[in-house]
Amino acid sequence: MTSSDDTPVPDYPGRLRLDGRRFVVIGAGQGIGRQTVHALASVGARVVCVDLDADRAREVAGEVDGVPVVGDATARSGATRIFDESSAALGGLDGVVDIVGMARYATLLELADEDWDWHFDIVLRHAYLTVQLAGRALAAAGTGGVLAFVASVSGLTSAPRHAAYGAAKAGLMALVRSAAVELGPAGVRVNAVAPGVVWTPRVSAFLGEEGRARNVANTPLRRVALPADIAAALLFLCSDLAGYVSGQTLVVDGGVAAKFPYPMAED
């Protein structure tokens, strides 16, 4: 303490620890999901690794001595089974990180109804089910907990050629805010991260080296995001370092959203 401040100083590194806490990572098989599994496990969490692909779920779980679970989180029956199996395997739940989301590219004038519906399933429906099913379990346990989601800058700004994806991600961020207010009295925090372009295995295969170079040039930090960058932000939101953070979406895009739209001068 000092002569003017006797406030206790917490163990800040200790607040990052998640020793013994029980987390479910949905979409754990590769990219951001796999890195998030490793991030949580590295600070002591016990992790259930959920993926549609059984081999991916098993492989990632094997890396961290986790529990593999295979299921479709976009269907109520699948999501119910995922949380039932996860809770049984871990003896309860303390948090969920939901990574799932993809986009199909088409202009609004070309977009088919089927693709519109698909986006809201793959981006938003599983998040709604996670909030409802995991939220009930966390609230009933009476010990608080964490729900964290992966949104997108496409839900914060225009999303040409993937407007349905952007609309669904905007819906996800609205869901996060509402869930934070409703679940807050039970001590459950709900947040999201909003990445820009992330160099996952799927994105790298789609954009190639030309796309990487274009995004590097467009980013103030002069590199594309790696899955570990997003996993680090999710780890912060899951930890007690973020113990008073709820209802928020943290933009993790290397500074792109902060740019004025004029081209930047060459360095």
d(CA 92, CA 112): 41
Cα torsion 251, 75, 88, 246: sign: positive
CA atoms within 13 A of residue 152's CA, in its CB half-sphere:
24
Q: Which residues contact 109 (CB under 8 A, 6 or more apart)?
A: none
Direct distance between the N- and C-terminal alpha carbons of the chain, in angstroms, rounded to an integer: 46
Cα–Cα distance, 39 to 231 (Å, whole number): 7
Verify whether residue 165 is a known catalytic residue. Answer: yes
Q: Cα separation of 66 and 163, whole Å?
A: 36
Query: What is the Cβ-side half-sphere exposure of residue 248, based on CA atoms within 13 angstroms?
Result: 14
Show the beta-strand stretches assigned E in 43-121. 46-51, 67-70, 95-98
Contact by Cβ (8 Å): 105, 165: no
Q: Which of 12, 105, 165, 244 is catalytic?
A: 165
Q: Are 125 and 172 in contact (CB under 8 A)?
A: no
Task: State the catalytic residues.
Answer: 165
